[in-house]
Chains A and B, each alone.
Chain A
């Protein structure tokens, strides 16, 4: 498994949001994209999952060019996304949300039960709430549901968009612990975060994104100790 973005450009109308970005995610890694609001993090994820069209450049997955594959077929290739703001189906129950996770499922009995089991083991809280409407869950539970739903498709790579957004510190720590656990189960992770501290602690490698450009690529642990990064993204350093 290898996700490779080469010289990607994406436009919103005439505005170029992504200006030639190259990112590589290797099997088994946690790679994080960090950067300020509007740097283009979410756009990159949306382009990988096919929700935004590519202007130029390429995205390949397992050596296959994704450009011509429509969004709804990418989940079957093994790319699952947890969208920004979680994207829970508020009117569906927790179970119905999870069932939606892989819509084009062929084996609806055994395989589904297996996947549900796996999700409930990772997120016992969801099991207690199976018949509750998705919209009535707390923010943290919704994040768990969104991640669980993505895992239902047995992704090879999981794209996470701001999983810590709007959560209490304790819940953030919990979510990041689970992200590491999912990764240990063999799922490659591309993580977009504003919470650079947590992201860099959990990731293997990191890219720093500024207004549509990658300005730095390094091992996450190196960036944690980089004075410039510490000042710009971790809120510590010379003031």
Chain B
């Protein structure tokens, strides 16, 4: 047990990575991305056919929930993992993106690529509107405010006529063809590649941020907000930034999701989804991009894989969560190990 608890795959991975030179790294990254890109065809290959999900189509599962959850978990990780702000209403930004796409396309004839920046922009603006008052309080209070925000967005969507009330909005068009890729029911793998591209872009962006000043500021705020302010960090602005960037990613995911499923309704944006995405972040390893991506993939895929056991699958899902969090309380791939040493000292 303790061997499993202390084994740090992240450090092991970082060690191997550090041992490689640039060409080897490039080859590894390209191979890895290609392999992930080929996943939609995996079930037809025999040896990998165990991956296939019964009842639901594997290619669609890869887009939603798996791809979308990874994207959202990465976005939420900036807020929760990097700057340490507990956001329980993250699904609201996803909903705002989805409804932007739905309304703009059905009422004004905008296509997905035109709606994408608008959906992200609206999510970011709502991030600022929520963040400015909410980020002045800390910890539990912030969590409750964000929870309230998530519910408000859903209830507003449930009651407005422009959002179609409880029936939601139907007839959202698929994205138009781009770079020769068609997006419709015939090509779920194209959607997967689109989401994969968004995930890669997000990872690249987060890594940029983390090594630069915002990353330092977030880290300082997460560890001790007062001391961060003493050092000259404008804590409100940097917290707001992490909130807004997280919101933009959630919004982008929502836009693409709406144009994939073509019908959206308020019950897709319930509180449970926020919690599930938070679970992905914690399960994978708060603050570590690779851990979060892995955690989200597993938690999104598992319920679909065991869908054939019907009612009991949620119990099994819960058991897996409990057992895993006991075995690896810091997640599958925890963040840098040096903090662990400190935790031991202060205990």
Contacts and interface: CB of A to CB of B under 8 A. Distances in A.
Contact of B341 (A75, A81, A87, A135): A135
Nearest to A92: B219
Contacts of A90: 223, 339, 342, 346
Interface stretch (B34-42, B53-61, B228-236): B228-236
Given A91-B219, A103-B217, A133-B339, A72 B224 contact: no
A50 interface: yes
Contacts of B341: 133, 135-136
B25 interface: no
B338 A102 contact: no
A87 B232 contact: no
A80 interface: yes
A91 B232 contact: no
B5 interface: no
Interface string B227-251: 1111111110000000000000000
B229 A50 contact: yes
Contact of A89 (B213, B227, B235, B346): B227
A89 B229 contact: no
Nearest to A159: B230
Interface string A77-116: 0001101000101111100100111111000000000000
Interface residues of B, number: 25
A63 to B, nearest CB: 22
Nearest to B213: A103
A91 B336 contact: yes
Contacts of B343: 135
B10 interface: no
A86 to B, nearest CB: 9
A83 to B, nearest CB: 6
A71 interface: yes
Interface residues of A, number: 31
Contact of B235 (A72, A87, A100): A72
Interface in B283-318: none
Given A89-B220, A136-B345, A83 B338 contact: no
B216 interface: yes
Contacts of A70: 234
A232 interface: no
A49 interface: yes
B226 A76 contact: no
A70 B236 CA distance: 11
Contacts of B226: 51, 83, 87
Contacts of A73: 232
Given A89-B219, A92-B219, A72 B234 contact: yes
B345 A87 contact: no
Contact of B338 (A71, A101, A133): A133
Most-contacted residue by chain B among A101, A103, A136 (CB, 10 A): A103
B137 to A, nearest CB: 15
Interface string B181-197: 00000000000000000
A89 B230 contact: no
Nearest to A91: B339
A81 B233 CA distance: 14
B228 to A, nearest CB: 8
A134 B338 CA distance: 9
Nearest to A134: B342
Given A83-B226, A89-B227, A135 B339 contact: yes
Contacts of A153: 231-232
Nearest to A152: B231
B230 A136 contact: no
A100 B343 CA distance: 21
6 contacts: A89-B224, A91-B219, A100-B231, A135-B341, A135-B345, A149-B231
Given A75-B232, A89-B224, A99-B216, 7 more contacts: A87-B226, A87-B230, A89-B220, A92-B219, A135-B341, A136-B342, A149-B231
